[in-house]
Structure 1
Amino acid sequence: MKKINLTKSEEETYFIKGRSIPKGCKYCLKGSKAVLFLNGICQKPDHCSWYCPISEERRDKDVTFADEIEIITKEELLKEIKMINAQGMSITGGEPLSEINFEKTLDYIKYVKLNKGRKFHIHLYTNGIDFNENKADKLSMAGLDEIRFHPAKEHWVNIEKALNKKMKVGAELPVIPEKEEIETLEKLIIYLNTIGADFINLNEFEYCFPNSQALKERGFQLKNGSIASVINSQETGLDLIRKIGAKVSIKMHLCSIRAKDYYQLKNRYIRRAKNIKLPYEVITEEGLLVFGQIEGDKKELDKFYKNLLFNLRIQNKFISYDEKNIKIPFYISIKGQVLSILEKYQLKGFIVETTPFRLSKYQQITEKTPIELFKEEYGFNGN
Structure 2
Amino acid sequence: MMKMTPKDKNIHLIDSPITPSVAGSWVQGSLPEGCRLCIHGMKMVYFMGGDCSLPSRCKWYCPLSDERKSSSAHFINELPIKNPTNLTAVVKQLVLEAKAMDAAGMSITGGDPLSTSAKVDWVCAIIKAIKIELTDEFHVHLYTSGTVFDNLTADKLEQAGLDDLRFHPAEKDFHRLEFATGRHYTVAAEVPVIPTLENHAYLLHLADHLDMIGADFLNLNEFEMCATNRDALIARGFTLKENSLATVAHSHEYANKFLSEFSPRGGLSIHFCSVLSKDSVQIRQRYLRRANKIRFPYEVVNEDGCLLFIRIEGAASELSQLNLALLESAGMPESMIGLNLARGVLDVPSFLAEDENFIDLLNEYKLKAGILEIIPFREPNLSQIREYTPLMNNIASRILRKEK
- Normalized against structure 2, the TM-score is what? 0.87
1:76 correspondence with 2:93:
yes
Which digits, 9 at most, give the CA deviation of each residue in 1:119-176, with x for residues without a partner? 2111110101110111111111111111111001100111111100122111000000
Residue 374 of structure 1 deviates from its aligned partner by 8.7
Secondary structure, counterpart of 1:101 in structure 2: helix
Q: Report how many residues are paired.
A: 370
C-alpha distance in structure 2 between counterparts of 1:52 and 1:95, whole Å:
12
Which digits, 9 at most, give the CA deviation of each residue in 1:31-60, with x for residues without a partner? 111111111111111111111111211213
Secondary structure, counterpart of 1:47 in structure 2: coil
Which digits, 9 at most, give the CA deviation of each residue in 1:65-93, with x for residues without a partner? 11112223221111111211111111111
Q: Is the 8 A contact 1:334 1:371 kept in 2?
A: no
Residue 347 of structure 1 deviates from its aligned partner by 4.0
Which digits, 9 at most, give the CA deviation of each residue in 1:267-301, with x for residues without a partner? 11112112211111111111111001223455544
Secondary structure, counterpart of 1:209 in structure 2: coil
Secondary structure, counterpart of 2:252 in structure 1: helix
Q: Is the 8 A contact 1:200 1:253 kept in 2?
A: yes
Q: Which residue of 2 aligns with 1:67?
A: 77
Select 1:333's aligned residue among 336, 341, 353.
353
Q: Is the 8 A contact 2:22 2:277 kept in 1?
A: no
- Normalized against structure 1, the TM-score is what? 0.91
Q: Which residue of 1 aligns with 2:63?
A: 53
Q: Is the 8 A contact 2:337 2:347 kept in 1?
A: yes
Which digits, 9 at most, give the CA deviation of each residue in 1:206-261, with x for residues without a partner? 11112122112111111222221111112221232233223211110000111111
Select 1:130's aligned residue among 135, 148, 160.
148
> What letter matches 1:250 in structure 2?
L
Structure 1 105/338 Cα, relative in aligned 2: closer, same or farther at 3 Å?
A: same
- The 5-angstrom pairing of residues 198-209 of structure 1 reads 198-209=216-227
Which digits, 9 at most, give the CA deviation of each residue in 1:297-345, with x for residues without a partner? 5554444323211221111111122232321000123211111222343
Q: Which residue of 2 aligns with 1:153?
A: 171
Secondary structure, counterpart of 1:7 in structure 2: strand
**Higher mean C-alpha deviation, range 235-244 or range 169-178:** 235-244
Select 1:98's aligned residue among 105, 115, 136.
115
Residue 202 of structure 1 deviates from its aligned partner by 0.3
Q: Which residue of 2 aligns with 1:293?
A: 311
C-alpha distance in structure 2 between counterparts of 1:44 and 1:192, whole Å:
24
**Higher mean C-alpha deviation, range 207-216 or range 254-263:** 207-216
Structure 1 374/365 Cα, relative in aligned 2: closer, same or farther at 3 Å?
A: farther
Q: Which residue of 2 aligns with 1:256?
A: 274
Q: Which residue of 1 aligns with 2:43?
A: 33
C-alpha distance in structure 2 between counterparts of 1:89 and 1:161, whole Å:
23
Secondary structure, counterpart of 1:293 in structure 2: strand
Q: Which residue of 2 aligns with 1:380?
A: none
> What letter matches 1:216 in structure 2?
I
Q: Which residue of 2 aligns with 1:13?
A: 25
C-alpha distance in structure 1 between counterparts of 2:39 and 2:314, whole Å:
42
Q: Which residue of 1 aligns with 2:5?
A: none
Structure 1 342/374 Cα, relative in aligned 2: closer, same or farther at 3 Å?
A: closer
Structure 1 282/128 Cα, relative in aligned 2: closer, same or farther at 3 Å?
A: same
- The 5-angstrom pairing of residues 242-253 of structure 1 reads 242-253=260-271
Secondary structure, counterpart of 1:219 in structure 2: coil
Q: Is the 8 A contact 1:238 1:254 kept in 2?
A: no
1:86 correspondence with 2:94:
no
Q: Is the 8 A contact 2:359 2:394 kept in 1?
A: no
C-alpha distance in structure 1 between counterparts of 2:227 and 2:353, whole Å:
38
Q: Which runs of 5+ in 2 are unaligned?
A: 1-15, 84-88, 396-404
> What letter matches 1:6 in structure 2?
I
Secondary structure, counterpart of 2:232 in structure 1: helix
Secondary structure, counterpart of 2:141 in structure 1: strand
1:351 correspondence with 2:363:
no
Secondary structure, counterpart of 2:57 in structure 1: helix
1:313 correspondence with 2:331:
yes
> What letter matches 1:15 in structure 2?
V
> What letter matches 1:355 in structure 2?
I
Select 2:258's aligned residue among 223, 240, 259.
240
Residue 5 of structure 1 deviates from its aligned partner by 4.9
What is the RMSD computed on CA atoms of the aligned residues?
1.9
Q: Which residue of 1 aligns with 2:9?
A: none
C-alpha distance in structure 2 between counterparts of 1:83 and 1:358, whole Å:
11
C-alpha distance in structure 2 between counterparts of 1:101 and 1:374, whole Å:
56
